[in-house]
Amino acid sequence: MSKRPSLTPLIESLPATVPFVGPEALERRRGGLPFRARLGANENGFGPSARVVEAMRNAAPDVWMYGDPENHELKTAIARHLGVAFENVAAGEGVDALLGLIVRQYMEPGTPVVVSLGGYPTFNFHVTGFGGRLVPVPYDGYRENLEGLLDAVRRENAPLVYLANPDNPMASWWDAGSISAFIEALPETTMLILDEAYCEFAPADSVPPIDVNRPNVLRLRTFSKAYGLAGMRCGYVFGHAAAIEPFDRIRNHFGITRLTQIAALAALEDQEYLRDTVARVAAGRERIGRIAAANGLTALPSATNFVAVDCGADGAFALRVLQELGKRDVFVRKPMAAGQDQYIRVSVGPDSALDLFAEALPEALKAAREG
């Protein structure tokens, strides 16, 4: 056998995997048959505004040029939108890329990192990929356990703790006062990664006031959800200038494409469309709740663009329901951690997609019970 360059022991030890199995992979397994209702990836099925599409169309001939490596116009617009200074904002290829950059900044191999058991898996992917040691804290019911996270931070002397508000996969949330109290109780040497990817959908009293004076808080938001630009990959982080500056030391300076920068700028400018989308999502959440109730199931309250639906039995049954929905061309996902795995997670989509879900769910439940 010929020799080859050796991987590092860390990389050699890791499985070849991705945090999520995409609907495209599932469609390939189905012989290329597309799902008729794509309700599993927490995408915004209503898409971007017409102004965004027009801006992208006009800019398409210029994609031969690199995007501005400083993201200057985009960062200026984000800072203005937030009411902070330019130096308080960094942008990246979605929240996922920014999470990886934060892990690199504050973690070395073996470093403890506190997370919620069953929470957003991409963050965990970055931690393990850079050799960190995950310290998982079980949910308190269907919400992330703030006291448990704080206890784990103190016990482990952890330099990083990750908290999503609202959270994925349960769509639950804490009020702004509870989040602020959590921040106040954190050690000054612990960086809080506050993932607010779904904050535009959440109640106003769940989002703490913007304060960039604390050096140990980084807040992340995205254009993937409410703005309907998941395929463009653009997110941003804001915080104290001293915590934002290190991003420039390690980020991919050409990571946000020219077209993505233009699309994100146009999306920020069309706040009327954003408000309309948020209203449509709220109506969609209510409809998913009604569909669940009509089938004898319970939907959790949601502050996101998806709803967690309790299938009324164990995780194995919920998995059968998910699989039976897939056979009926409806793509949904489900949490996998104990205490969450009896739920399926249904993203809000256009009425036509929810019509298909409403039609398929009773058949899927019947087949799962008989299976």
- State residue 257's pLDDT score: 97
Quote the CA–CA distance of 321 and 312 in Å, as a whole number. Answer: 11
- State residue 1's pLDDT score: 58
Pick from 149, 181, 185: which is nearest to 164 by CA? 149
Class level of CATH domain 19-46+272-370:
alpha beta
Tokens of 9: 């022991």
**How distant, in Å, are the alpha carbons of 37, 62, 209, 341, 355 from that of 303?**
22, 38, 18, 20, 22
The domain limits of the chain are 19-46+272-370, 50-269
- State residue 17's pLDDT score: 79
DSSP letters, 132-178, are -EEEEE--BTTB--HHHHHHHHHHHT-SEEEEESS-TTT-----HHH
Element (H, E) at 319: helix 315-327
Quote the CA–CA distance of 243 and 237 in Å, as a whole number. Answer: 10
**How distant, in Å, are the alpha carbons of 190, 307, 331 from that of 92?**
23, 27, 28
pLDDT tens per residue, range 215-274: 999 999 999 999 999 999 999 999 999 999 999 999 999 999 999 999 999 999 999 999
CATH architecture of the domain formed by 50-269: 3-Layer(aba) Sandwich (3.40)
CB 254 within 8 A of CB 36: no
| End-to-end C-alpha distance for the chain, whole angstroms | 48
- State residue 232's pLDDT score: 96
- State residue 22's pLDDT score: 87
Nearby residues of 293 by Cβ (< 8 Å), 6 or more positions away? 299
Please list the ranges in the chain whose pLDDT falls under 50: none
